[in-house]
Amino acid sequence: MRVFFVTLLFLYSTNELLQAKEYEIKSARELAALDLKAGDKVILKAGDWKDQKLVFKGVGTEKDPIELIAEKQGQVKLSGRSSIEIDGIWLKVDGLLFTDGYLEKGDVILFKSNSNNCRVTNTAIIDFNHPDDKIDYKWVSINGSRNRVDHCYFKGKKHQGVTLVVWLSENPNYHQIDHNYFGPRPELGRNGGETIRIGTSTWSFHDSGTVVENNIFDRCDGELEAVSVKSGKNIIRNNLFYECRATLTLRHGNDSEVSGNYFLGNNKPGTGGVRIIGENHKVDNNYFQELTGTSVSAAISVMAGLPNPQLTSHWQVKNAVITNNTIINCKEPFAIAAGYKAGRYLPALNTTFAKNIIIGKEEPLKWYDDKVIVAFRDNCVSGPTGSAKLPEGFKLKDIRMERTNFNTYKIAGRKKIIPFWTREKVGPQWMKASVDYQVPVNTNRN
């Protein structure tokens, strides 16, 4: 009897696998008519898909996801009022191009609230702008849980609204945002011009658990915050911020980690680094070079807090740990109590600044409130600086730097670190011949 049931199960599984189908479609209407099963593949015919609202539904599995792919990557052009909704489990979207269009509201790419383990990859949104720059819609909205956006290209958003936003729910969502190229975003002139936002102020005491890694942010200047973290327990690591006037800001929420990122300012006016607000954040092993921002746009900025804060306020910094960072030729390496003023005066508590290297001619510390107490330990300073003003926990050292061929420096005698954007593929594979990246981007590896 047992053999019979095992045989029956095998035949059932084999039959299910054989039922996986492949469809070729030419419109959103044809997609809506499909009843997709695990392992099915939908191929979008190359061409101009104008005013197409794609709704991609189904329940795939980790082994047999349902795929929606371009017949030729980058040659399915979604224009006009086109958009896509992803509504299901283990769904994969691959190779689409959104351009020559705009929306009146909503989202260009939307992961619905019940989406789980879905993925958008090798896809681009370019200059998908409403003529009225005050019209607010997002290019990518991620709801659900454990979804991924990777190897995509986003460039030229100049209207109101975040480029990519993670929405929160009662439970952590554990999304993954990696190996994307976020191209230039011009200054909007008001709030609402972030490139990535994780959460909202009203949900900021909820954890997200989102990982943002191995992305390039190229001249993302939309507003003060390029990446705005408004939730807890997120990881922002190993990204490149290239000539960004906007900062990586831990704006709301607690317990996030910022590590292994590169901030290259090339002395462009107003370029910034990391801004810290909230509790229990770790900022470690980051590289800051030739940033010219000051105060809230310093290389590393610890903010003053508001008493009796509301959810939208600047909360007091507590237990920040800032270690093993390298800061080279930045106008203001470490701003303490940035934003200090009447009404915003709570000092950072239990802040640790240890084992950091600061090289350059500028003063390494800028005190906007000299009553703040910081635990300084084992930091090195090199260069013509006012050493007499340094507190305990710093030592002067003649550190010789060598320029690398990656537009960075390394300490003489130490092994050269090869940055991720030259050894890992960033952005869509199909764009390598048609895009003039500002930074050298590897498009040849998986």
Domain ranges, ordered by start, for the chain: 162-431
Q: Which of 219, 203, 255 is nearest to 234 (CA)?
A: 255
Contact 173, 210 (CB under 8 A): yes
pLDDT digits (tens, 9 = 90+) for 340-355: 988 888 999 999 999 9
Mean pLDDT of 244-248: 96
User: Which region among 66-70, 143-147, 385-389 has the lowest average model confidence (pLDDT)?
Assistant: 385-389
Q: Distance (Å, rounded) from C-alpha 237 to C-alpha 227?
A: 12
Token pair in block for residue 426: 């960033």
Given a cut of 50, whether residue 202 has pLDDT beyond it is yes
User: Which region among 41-50, 355-364, 402-411 has the lowest average model confidence (pLDDT)?
Assistant: 402-411
Mean pLDDT of 160-164: 96
Q: Distance (Å, rounded) from C-alpha 58 to C-alpha 73?
A: 22
pLDDT digits (tens, 9 = 90+) for 353-367: 999 999 999 999 999
Helix (H/G/I), strand (E/B), else coil: 2: helix
Return the amino acid letter for 428. Answer: P
pLDDT at 289: 97
Q: Where are the beta strands (DSSP E) in 253-389?
A: 257-259, 262-264, 274-276, 282-284, 287-289, 300-303, 321-323, 326-328, 334-338, 351-354, 357-359, 365-367, 374-377, 379-382
pLDDT digits (tens, 9 = 90+) for 23-42: 999 999 999 999 999 999 99
Q: Distance (Å, rounded) from C-alpha 422 to C-alpha 441?
A: 6
Q: Which residues contact 423 (CB under 8 A, 6 or more apart)?
A: 442, 445
Contact 277, 315 (CB under 8 A): yes
pLDDT at 439: 67
pLDDT at 343: 84
Taking all residues of the chain, what is their mean pLDDT, rounded to a whole number?
91
pLDDT at 445: 38
pTM: 0.92
Q: Distance (Å, rounded) from C-alpha 260 to C-alpha 196?
A: 18
pLDDT at 123: 98
β-strands 211-213, 176-178 pairing: parallel
pLDDT digits (tens, 9 = 90+) for 94-153: 999 999 999 999 999 999 999 999 999 999 999 999 999 999 999 999 999 999 999 999
pLDDT at 446: 38
Contact 149, 120 (CB under 8 A): yes
- What is the biggest distance separating any 2 CA atoms in the chain, rounded to whole angstroms? 87
Given a cut of 90, whether residue 331 has pLDDT beyond it is yes
pLDDT digits (tens, 9 = 90+) for 82-94: 999 999 999 999 9
pLDDT at 345: 87
pLDDT at 11: 45
Name the more confident of 191 and 170. Answer: 170
Mean pLDDT of 2-12: 47
284 φ/ψ angles, rounded to the nearest 5 degrees: -145, 150
User: Which region among 45-59, 69-83, 89-103, 387-401 has the lowest average model confidence (pLDDT)?
Assistant: 387-401
pLDDT at 19: 84
Q: Which residues contact 54 (CB under 8 A, 6 or more apart)?
A: 28, 31, 68, 78, 82, 83, 84, 85
User: CATH assignment of 162-431, given 1.10.10.10, 2.160.20.10, 3.30.70.20, 3.40.50.2300?
Assistant: 2.160.20.10
Given a cut of 90, whether residue 4 has pLDDT beyond it is no
Given a cut of 70, whether residue 17 has pLDDT beyond it is no
